[in-house]
Structure 1
């Protein structure tokens, strides 16, 4: 298997392969890997970009047509295909096989999707594509791997941080590359040349008086609606990117779903706290939400969050009204009154 981790991808983009497989659950790594490939492709005349997604009713012949079509602009083209479930099925597998036998130097195929299980990387469709390309697994680094990533980004922004400041960043941001990268960019703007220690870093975070996404999701879990709505408008006013907010909400809902599913089959929560890395001080937030919300309500919340994300990815619409509505649904009373409402496409 030609597996290349995101931090090594740049070194492996020359010459370009026929196909790149970007699968994983880390939005920052997925996005960074995509843009590195696009940049390299652009420098080699791949000007046109076609985006396809295997939603229900997707016609695989569309991919074949795009593969064989002459470019409108006589430039080379990038086809990006999203597999939301990472399951192309028998038909998709057959199509991949025939495309890989029709090498086309003027087409570059990028396939994106969620994290792959080990058995999926042994499947026929995956091996077919992998034989002509590179697999980029984008899993959020943890522990020493996250430390290495953080050190590299600190170096990238040419920041001078003391050991204790690095430790503080590590404990604040492990598991959230998007937010970590945003903070480092801000630090570069505020203190490009001075050395930064942890008291300085604490002051910087306080001065920003920014409500973090973590505080927002805690307020949602706790059903502190006034607080959550106030924080949302604050985050919007500060220009915090919608993907970061959605990342935080999805993370908490995925945890809630796991905990609630365990409760439904009378499994003890104790082993899950450690596995999901939930500290004692945050347990009350989850317990409050678990006592309030049913499994169906948590699933409804996830479905609503997915709709907002889809609107953002496919139409570029930042639906702040939708996120505000989503926050209200953390209250079961609101579910009865609001969950049937379909939000229209307002930005």
Structure 2
């Protein structure tokens, strides 16, 4: 049975034989697993066995755990990690066989990366799905992210006005962990009264961890000296390149969408609303759109894609490449830098 992560709590009424947690959003995967483990513990599943399908792994280990009695508790959790989301022919047979021998004193949690559509049609998946719950943990976007954010705001019992929500949306869409951490911070700073966009902006400015947003603001306004100073500070403070790059790519992608829509004659007022750009940030985007041509932004996107591949596939944190990308927010830099590729 397919259940989305934000609905899981409603389905934790009685233990299922199997829970399938697959997806590429680490926050959703971890949150779903913790909710399942917490519920299982309440139901008396005290012992937890962790297995991983890696080199040298034998499916006999899973069979033995399924059939053996616990030394410490009457009910156990077996957590099986499939790093490639593919159990293979042998694993598929084993998983199907186990489901034919149900055990009310065991819970099987299988987790791994996002499943392709054809994988959800495989025999092993259908068999496990029929005995439990499948949780696809894909990062919510657009209105789905807004609904997720609203639910988390309600969870923390925060009162946040419309502009402040738009700011949170703009800053954190695509990064659930950072969004949740920001809301936890707001619980400490302002737990009872209403929070507006001005207060929210002030909180960010007071926290060095949010200076990445000061960087993007400086770049949108083409304040290159300030931007390079902030970038050096971020590097010295050990800021994760992944977080920094995510923010830059988000802004460049948004500029591209705004530029295309404006060229097609879309009214800016509609664009602000569509992309949830709050009032105080409109001037930043207007300045960048007037300054940068369509081909400038395309060049920036292409360069960013190369940096993304280096980061995700090779684990290379290219600070020089990040600096190069920041400089390209200045149209004058394109005649000197646009031909340079990220090695």
Q: TM-score, normalised on structure 2?
A: 0.70
SS at match of 1:152: helix
SS at match of 2:209: coil
Offset of 1:287 from its aligned partner? 3.8
Offset of 1:211 from its aligned partner? 4.2
Structure 2 residue aligned with 1:337: none
Alpha carbons 2:241, 2:317 under 8 Å: kept: no
Offset of 1:62 from its aligned partner? 1.2
Alpha carbons 1:21, 1:111 under 8 Å: kept: yes
Alpha carbons 1:301, 1:329 under 8 Å: kept: no
Is 1:176 matched with 2:153?
Answer: no
- Map Cα deviations across residues 6-56 of structure 1 (whole Å, 9 max, x no partner): 111111112110000011121111111111100010011111111111123
Q: Give, in whole Å, the separation in 2 of the partners of 1:107 and 1:250.
A: 43
Structure 1 residue aligned with 2:30: 31
Aligned residues: 279
Q: Give, in whole Å, the separation in 2 of the partners of 1:226 and 1:93.
A: 54
- Equivalences for residues 239-254 of structure 1 within 5 A: 245=240, 248=243
SS at match of 1:195: coil
- Equivalences for residues 256-335 of structure 1 within 5 A: 285-288=300-303, 301-305=311-315, 326-327=317-318
- Map Cα deviations across residues 130-170 of structure 1 (whole Å, 9 max, x no partner): 11111011111111111111111111111111111111111
Structure 1 residue aligned with 2:270: none
Q: Give, in whole Å, the separation in 2 of the partners of 1:56 and 1:6.
A: 30
Structure 2 residue aligned with 1:206: 205
Structure 2 residue aligned with 1:313: none
Q: Give, in whole Å, the separation in 2 of the partners of 1:182 and 1:81.
A: 28
Correspondence for 2:237 among 214, 234, 237: 234
Structure 1 residue aligned with 2:6: 7
Structure 2 residue aligned with 1:92: 91
Q: Give, in whole Å, the separation in 1 of the partners of 2:245 and 2:129.
A: 30
SS at match of 1:196: coil
Alpha carbons 1:142, 1:174 under 8 Å: kept: yes
Offset of 1:286 from its aligned partner? 4.2
- Tell me: CA distance 1:189–1:21, structure 2 relative to 1, closer, same or farther (3 Å): same
Is 1:145 matched with 2:148?
Answer: no
- Equivalences for residues 79-228 of structure 1 within 5 A: 79-211=78-210
- Tell me: CA distance 1:33–1:212, structure 2 relative to 1, closer, same or farther (3 Å): farther
- Deviating runs (4+, > 2 A) in structure 1? 209-217, 224-230, 232-236, 245-252, 279-290, 297-305, 325-331
Gaps of 5+ in 1: 218-223, 237-244, 256-269, 306-324, 332-347
Larger Rg: 2
More displaced stretch, 68-77 vs 111-120: 68-77
Q: Give, in whole Å, the separation in 2 of the partners of 1:213 and 1:61.
A: 49
Is 1:16 matched with 2:15?
Answer: yes
Is 1:50 matched with 2:49?
Answer: yes
Alpha-carbon RMSD: 3.7
Q: Give, in whole Å, the separation in 2 of the partners of 1:192 and 1:172.
A: 21
SS at match of 2:110: strand
SS at match of 1:210: helix
Q: Give, in whole Å, the separation in 1 of the partners of 2:204 and 2:13.
A: 41
